[in-house]
Amino acid sequence: MFGNWVKTSILMAGIVALFGAVGAMIGGRDGMLMALVFGGAMNVWAYWFSDKMVLKMYNARQIDASSSPYLYNMVRELAQRANLPMPKVYIIDEAQPNAFATGRNPDNAAVAATTGIIRMLSERELRGVMAHELAHVKNRDILISTMSATVAGAISMLAQFGMFFGGRGENRPHPVFAILMMILAPMAAMIIQMAISRTREFGADRGGAEISGDPEALASALAKIEAYAKGIPMQAAEQHPETAQMMIMNPLSGGGLRGLFSTHPATQDRIAKLRAMVGRV
């Protein structure tokens, strides 16, 4: 838990510094001060409201035991096994098989699954996936991933705003410099995300296997998701690529820089680690 608070503090400091740098490029000293204030306020807002924002981006709808007993009761049983409070449960109407967890702590957590993953996976495999998401909750990864997703998007918007509207006269960025800023600022935000996110997936895989008691089921689920996710686009993820690192599998269809800056480890490495756990949990 202490390690995650350190990571969160580093994330917050990096975000504020990045806001300040972009602000300085846009408007010099005054722009930097305004951006630093905005970055600090954004951190506070993201801490309290970023989970609701992400769920809204994906048009997630909350379910209960009467509306969707299959998924809800599965999550409740796994939460009890993990000694966690019952999270809110959401369904996303998307054909791509995927899932994520969000919230600022275990008492204010939510897990979401797409209709595609519910249809595609067997009950054993879906239990493995939802156990993986609950492991993120138990490991307190969800605050870090949700905040970084929300603020990375804000940095991208700030950089684009600065390119078109930043400064006046002599204070206006040179066009070439402005284009570089629009490219490099979001890239820097992605690097901040990468620095703290890849190891989380291995940890959640291990924790999910322990919660479900079935590492082979999660390994099988990852193989299926990998095979189908890339061929089925997810519109919300394409519109908000900064949220891709929250998913159990990268939901983005593009290659190039998106692949280079992937926040997920190679699926075959994840599967190998899980299969090495078979018979030991």
**Residue 175 exposed, middle or buried by CB count within 10 Å (0-12, 13-18, 19+):** exposed
How open is the CA angle 141-234-204, to the nearest 5 degrees? 20
CA distances from 221 to 97, 225, 270 (A): 10, 6, 11
CA distances from 15 to 82, 148, 224 (A): 32, 8, 35
The tokens describing 228, both together, are 């189908």
SS3 content of the chain, % helix, strand, coil (to 5): 70, 5, 20
3-state secondary structure 124-166: HHHHHHHHHHHHHHHCCCHHHHHHHHHHHHHHHHHHHHHHHHC
> Residue 8 contacts by C-beta under 8 Å, 6 or more apart in sequence?
143, 144, 147
Whether 202 and 265 have beta carbons less than 8 Å apart is answered as: yes
Counting every residue, how long is the chain? Answer: 281
Q: At what angle do helices 123-138 and 142-165 cross, to 10 degrees?
A: 80
Catalytic residue chosen out of the listed positions 94, 125, 133, 242: 133
133 counts as catalytic: yes
Residues serving a catalytic function are 133
